[in-house]
Amino acid sequence: MRGYRSKRSPVRLVAIMGAGLWVSGMAPLRAQEGGLDESAKAVADSIELARVDSLRRVFDPVRAFAQLDLPEPDAIRDRSGTPGEAYWQQRADYQIQVSLEDGHIRGTERITYTNNSPDDLSSLWLQLDQNLFNENSLGAQRAEQAENKPRHGGFFDKGGFDITGVTVSDGGELSAPEFNIEDTMMEVFLEQPLAAEGQQLELKIDFEFEIPETGGDRMGTLKIDDGILYQLAQWYPRMFTYDDVNGWNQSSFLGQGEWYLEYGDFDVELTVPRDLIVVATGELLNPEEVLTPQQVGRLEEARGSDQTVFIIDAEEAGDRSTRPTGEGPLTWRFRAENVRDFAWAASDAFVWDAASWEDVLIMSAYPAESIGTRGTTGWERSTEYLRHSVKFYSEKWFRYPYPVAINVAGLALGMEYPMIVFCSWQSRGAFLFSVTDHEIGHTWFPMIVGSDERRYAWMDEGFNTFINYYSGIDFSGGDPILGSFMDPGQIADDTRAPGHAVLTPADSIPEDALGVLAYNKPAAVLVLLRDRVIGPEVFDAAFKKYIEDWAYKHPQPADFIRTMEDVSGLDLDWFFRAWIYEDAILDQAIESVRRTGDTTVVKIVNRGGIPMPLDVRLIYRDGEEERLEVPVEAWEVDGTYVLEVVGGPVRHVQLDPDGAMPDANRSNNVWGRGIVGRSPPRD
């Protein structure tokens, strides 16, 4: 909101330096209260207000409007928030051959690593995420100390990688370098440094591991009535990211924090028992070798259909006729270009269906048990949901860049990978839509915009939850799907937990606060920034520019903030400081209303630590109503607004009449005679 509006009477905005500085002779107007239960409700309110009081920050305008201490822009990351002329990032291309047999993975990978940095590298760092599941890992030790059973568990005595061989080739002879494994990290020491600015080497690693039964709510084995289902993620040694900000970003995988990965191409061969159907990141290169002619034909039909086509229906699932004739395992070959990860799933009980949107093949794979019954909708609508999301996000923000999109039912509640997502086989109805929409929404954050999820979960989960909000509204035709996180009262409750800002690294957030700090709060405040501060049109232009500029790159928080400021032309440091960098609360309050002569003086105070624009509703004695919008800059002088309303007597004053702000104490937002409800939202 820029400026304030008044159509009826002259209104002057007066900054009061300090509390209690009033012109003598002003007689207070009496406030009338009604409809209150003066017994139990009064006790509950007093307890709640005491709690809010304990959370308040003293409003300091100098601090609130000070410039954020962002890294200095340079030739790599410029002051407009875009990658500079000197921007660089590393590249990791993978060739992987693995076999699956009796719950055991054995494979070989060849990583072509390109050093585009200006630095010579004497060693390489890799992520061994399967080591989390060893019962002696740091993640397991941390989980033992948790009061509640952690979501990200699955530890067992045989958990983790067995690295059986490591070799390096820089185009010459092979060498067997020394390497060191510490928990989920592996450092490979190079005999000769990998030279800067475009030099390459090939790193070959032989590995194997036992698939955990429940792998951190992201992967594992699901046994169902009609068969078995494997979900494979974090299943191969992966390069850590080396960037211009931190160099190597090596850190132990503890389960809650996610990943920060390099981009590259993947050529993957998956050898599995013949009775398994495989879906994976990337395009299937050899359908004629692993599918029946009928299935190949059905896939071609689905490529031209906006309605769901069954490749394997519920009656066929698990039947021997769905597999090519012959004996022994089959090798499925996939290729994925310009992605940061690869995941896959395999089952002998998959129902498999597909449709398309433009040139994207959209598919779902799920057991028959996931189909809805007794009037409920289930996974038979998954492809419809997935197609909506791919289309909506493509048209709203950035075109879906990959040839396939796959939703897989399994043991993970919800998890995302390039072109493939895992959702619970038990999800139904609106929740299945929401989790599908959320997981495929991660295509944009962080699969396309490759942020550092370990440090900045809010730029991954928060941004995605933000775009999910509008997708749900579009799908339902007006109401968000499971959008309760956007209820201002809920946001206010969420912000009443001091001690952790949204900027807190994922592994440092208490598990019971992760949903608030990584998902709900950042999503909600982005909606506020869009709808209440910048405006939808300008915000959307800035957000799209951010995605376009940082597609397949590694942005930092400063890059996002500078992009929003550059496109909008606004100084938004006050907004990001309050909502992202700090853990203050919002509490705008009417302190007093006085009448002197023909002027009504309304004193509004900031009792929290967050400055926000002010929306004021005035109702006059004759019933006429007007709305005033006061810009956030009015808080720059002090924590007080004074509105002087000249004209007919005011009988009612209400702050935030639309109920859009996450105000921690709404009881001090209303003054006047009688109860006046929330006004209808304005266009």
Res 75: pLDDT: 97
Coarse DSSP helix, strand, coil percentages of the chain, rounded to the nearest 5 percent: 30, 30, 40
Q: What is the pLDDT of residues 540-592, one digit of tens each?
A: 999 999 999 999 999 999 999 999 999 999 999 999 999 999 988 899 999 99
How far apart CA 576 and CA 144 sit, in angstroms, is 36
Tell me what the mean pLDDT of segment 14-40 comes to: 34
Res 673: pLDDT: 63
Given CATH 3.30.70.330, say whether it is the number of domain 91-367.
no
506: Cβ–Cβ under 8 A, 6 or more apart, which residues?
Answer: 256, 257, 258, 453, 454, 455, 457, 514, 518
Enumerate the H helices of 279-428 as residue ranges. Answer: 287-290, 293-303, 382-396
Instruction: Average the pLDDT over each of 419-423, 493-497, 583-587 and give the range with the smallest value.
Output: 493-497
- Residue 2 in this model has a pLDDT that exceeds 70: no
Res 6: pLDDT: 39
Res 280: pLDDT: 98
- Residue 24 in this model has a pLDDT that exceeds 60: no
Q: Which two tokens stand for residue 95?
A: 């060739």
How far apart CA 538 and CA 651 sit, in angstroms, is 37
Res 510: pLDDT: 86
120: amino acid identity, one letter: D
How far apart CA 380 and CA 419 sit, in angstroms, is 19
Res 25: pLDDT: 26
Nearest to 88 by CA among 194, 243, 196, 238: 243
Tell me what the mean pLDDT of segment 457-462 comes to: 96
Q: Which residues of 422-456 are buried (b: 16+ CB within 10 A; e: fewer)?
A: bbbbebbeeebbbbbbbbbbbbbbbbbbbbbbbbb
Work out the pLDDT band at 7, boundaries 50, 70, 90.
very low
Res 170: pLDDT: 86
Bigger pLDDT: 1 vs 487? 487
How far apart CA 158 and CA 613 sit, in angstroms, is 57
39: Cβ–Cβ under 8 A, 6 or more apart, which residues?
Answer: none
Q: Is 546 exposed, middle or buried (0-12, 13-18, 19+ CB in 10 A)?
A: buried
Res 464: pLDDT: 96
Tell me what the mean pLDDT of segment 511-537 comes to: 92
How far apart CA 353 and CA 368 sit, in angstroms, is 12
Q: Between the CA of residue 5 and those of 9, 529, 627, what are the distances in Å?
A: 10, 20, 7
Res 485: pLDDT: 56
DSSP string, 573-619: HHHHIIIII------EEEEEEEEETTEEEEEEEE-SS----EEEEEE
> Do residues 578 and 609 lie in contact, with contact meaning Cβ atoms separated by under 8 Å?
yes
Res 196: pLDDT: 96
Res 660: pLDDT: 87
Q: Between the CA of residue 468 and those of 370, 465, 529, what are the distances in Å?
A: 23, 5, 16
How far apart CA 303 and CA 382 sit, in angstroms, is 17
Q: Cis before residue 446, ω within 30 degrees of 0?
A: yes
Given CATH 1.10.3470, say whether it is the number of domain 11-57+588-672.
no
278: Cβ–Cβ under 8 A, 6 or more apart, which residues?
Answer: 270, 272, 290, 332, 344, 345, 346
- Residue 444 in this model has a pLDDT that exceeds 60: yes
Nearest to 382 by CA among 434, 436, 420, 343: 436
Res 52: pLDDT: 52
Q: Between the CA of residue 633 and those of 65, 69, 73, 165, what are the distances in Å?
A: 9, 20, 26, 62
- Residue 210 in this model has a pLDDT that exceeds 90: yes
Residue in the structure block whose two tokens are 């890294």: 71
Res 603: pLDDT: 96
How far apart CA 622 and CA 546 sit, in angstroms, is 49
How far apart CA 523 and CA 574 sit, in angstroms, is 17
Res 495: pLDDT: 63
575: Cβ–Cβ under 8 A, 6 or more apart, which residues?
Answer: 525, 529, 533
Tell me what the mean pLDDT of segment 503-507 comes to: 92
Provide the 8-state DSSP code for 514.
Answer: H
> Do residues 448 and 508 lie in contact, with contact meaning Cβ atoms separated by under 8 Å?
no
> Do residues 203 and 166 lie in contact, with contact meaning Cβ atoms separated by under 8 Å?
yes
Residues of the chain within CATH 2.60.40.1730 domain(s) are 91-367
Q: Strand, helix or coil at 410?
A: strand
Bigger pLDDT: 495 vs 18? 495
Total-model pTM:
0.89
> Do residues 359 and 402 lie in contact, with contact meaning Cβ atoms separated by under 8 Å?
no
Beta-carbon neighbour count of residue 365 at 10 Å?
30
Q: What is the pLDDT of residues 613-622, one digit of tens each?
A: 999 999 998 8
- Residue 158 in this model has a pLDDT that exceeds 70: yes
Cα atoms in the Cβ-side hemisphere of radius 13 Å centred on 255: 25
- Residue 20 in this model has a pLDDT that exceeds 90: no
Q: Between the CA of residue 340 and those of 113, 168, 188, 565, what are the distances in Å?
A: 13, 22, 21, 29
Residue in the structure block whose two tokens are 């639309």: 658
Q: What is the pLDDT of residues 367-393, one digit of tens each?
A: 999 999 888 899 999 999 999 999 999
Nearest to 345 by CA among 440, 273, 281, 427: 281
**Which range, 36-50, 347-361, 587-601, has the best average confidence (pLDDT)?**
347-361
Strand partners, 207: 107, 163
